[in-house]
Structure 1
Amino acid sequence: NQSGETPLHIACNIGNYNLMECLIKQGADINKRNNNGETPLFIACKMGYEDLIKYLIERGAEINISNRDDEIPLHIACSRKNKNIIKYLIK
């Protein structure tokens, strides 16, 4: 779309685990960036979808990749004060 989001970004934005899983199994680029430099993992962290985050990381999502603002997914989780996601990202 115009924001550079792929179907995988959108699946993570709406929390659709089944669609996300299907797209990844079909070869979707798990570390593809949108126009803001955000990967699907960033989107899942913003939205607080713990199950999606775990799946993305288990399938190779880069947790230390930075966006255009030099933030990593951990920064997003901290700004949202999501303790479970913070703990998962730092272990």
Structure 2
Amino acid sequence: MLGFPSGSYIGLWITEKIDIPENKLLIVVTVDDMKKAFDTMTKPLQAIIGSIAFVSFIIGLIVIYVVTSLTIEENKDKQNFNG
């Protein structure tokens, strides 16, 4: 499908070290390397999610303020007619 020779591997995931000549290996990645790479990739996403949460909180406060203000204004008008 990708044009590699038959019997070749794109990746080999094992838990024990096996005897493969260094000239046939492109890279060796450990579990710790994968965890560090994942953490590095997700840090910007964590910052974006934090920013979105903060903006959502501010918008929520504004909505609550507007609704409360409108409710108070409506009740002031009703009290003026009754009193």
TM tier, smaller:
under 0.3
* Larger helix proportion of the pair: 2
TM-score normalized by structure 1?
0.21
Whose Rg is larger? 2
Query: Larger relative contact order (C-alpha < 8 A, sep ≥ 6)?
Result: 1
TM-score normalized by structure 2?
0.22
